Amino acid sequence: MAVAVVVRVAVVPPERCPSPSVQERRAAAAAAVGWLARNQETDGTWLYQYDAGADEISSDYNLVRHAGVTLSLYQAAGVGLDRAERVADRGADYARDHLVDGEPAEFAAFGFPGARLETGATALLTAALLERRAVTGDRSDDRLLARLGNFLVGQVRDDGAVLSLWDPQTRAPVPDHYDRFATGEALWALARLHRAFPEAGWDEPARQVARYVATDRDRDERRFPYLSDHWSAYAFDEMARWPGNRLDEPEIEYARRQAGIHGVQVRYESQRRDGGVTELVRGPYAPGSGLGTLGEGIGALGRLAAVDARLDDVASDLADRAECVSGMLVDRQVTAAEAQSMAQPDLARGAWFHRDLTRMDDQQHAISALLVAQDPAQ
């Protein structure tokens, strides 16, 4: 009996999946929006990383994560969370002030003049501005969105692979340079552009990238184990909602495979504990960003399953896993009471920590995961 208990606890620990209410999920997302509001600089950037153990703030910054935070805040604004739109607008203004133009100005990209441009930064800025357009009805960025989309199309190879960098010296994409998430980020941005501007021809490059993701990417880019890609999950859900569109069978099979990969990762995370023997076996809790991306992927796949009956067989499991991620996020967020015992409460309240560290994208991905779990059928 003792051996069985040890095996159960140390080798296959039980899952812990709290079941938060809709109000609790919304409150957690609102608290994370509050963290981003308090920790935004006057130029529109955010505190990048805080080490609570050393009470140190990092001077690093990352434009891909800046665009991602802006996106998550517009998602929060879309469900009426206080301050989200105002804080997102400041982030968007920073991005608009840091655009690199093509010559002639047929494209625009988010980055710094003279530096290599990251596909992911422009893709997520595109998604953020499209979210703003949907939330506010403001069409003033439409020309800019077309130029951002032109940059993304220029990063797509003939086989659908997406190059992750653009070189200002050669004024061309950097050959054979790929990123784990830039492909899915670009795919989602292109899919959203087509839904917003259905006559502009964004569907063809989106389909090209989608075919590559569904059939070739993991093999060609040597992604093993296979990548759990929340951005591609968002993209396939978006494409399934194009008027008159039906995902191809390889794309549905990819979505089903992603459901399995995400589900296993959620189960593994739910078996982790903070301290004790289980932490030695399973490792510490994932960062808020890592747990959040699992929630985003599961949530987006659940929304896809709600509109495509070919995924009926995984719909229930997806809903169960989405609730599990929401519960872990609510449970692991630093509360106002807990923050009072820390060196700088305003840098801790509403955040998710991993080994004393919290970073802006921990709040970003957690917000998005909590919101996508609110109404999977939306």
Examine residue 328 and state whether it is found in any structural domain, yes or no.
Answer: yes
- What pLDDT score does 9 carry? 47
The encoded tokens of residue 247 equal 């995902």
Residue numbers of the domain that contains 362: 15-372
Cβ(247)–Cβ(236) below 8 Å? yes
CA distance linking residue 305 with residue 258, whole number of Å: 12
Q: What is the pLDDT of residue 274?
A: 73
| CATH value at residue 70 | 1.50.10.10
Asked if the structure places residue 1 within a domain, the reply is no
Domain count, the chain: 1
Residue 313 lies in a domain: yes
Asked whether residue 2 is assigned to any structural domain, the reply reads: no
Within-domain flag for 23: yes
State the Cα–Cα distance between residues 288 and 298, nearest whole angstrom.
Answer: 15
Cα–Cα dist 186/271, whole Å = 33
Q: Rounded to whole angstroms, how far apart are CA atoms 209 and 217? A: 9
Helix ranges, 97-181 (H): 119-136, 142-154
Instruction: Name residue 129's beta-bridge partners.
Output: none
Query: Does 10 map to a domain?
Result: no
Q: Are 372 and 295 in contact (CB under 8 A)?
A: yes
CA–CA separation, 87 and 46 (whole Å): 10
pLDDT at 285: 87
**Does residue 277 form part of some domain?**
yes
Angstrom distance (rounded) from CA 270 to CA 252: 27
**Identity of the residue numbered 191:** A
| 108 neighbors 100 (Cβ within 8 angstroms) | yes
Question: How far is residue 32's CA from residue 352's CA, in Å, rounded to a whole number?
Answer: 9
pLDDT tens digits along 284-324: 889 999 999 999 999 999 999 999 999 999 999 999 999 99
Q: Specify if 219 maps to a domain.
A: yes
**Which residues of the chain register pLDDT less than 50?**
2-10, 376-378
Partners of 156 in the β-ladder: 162
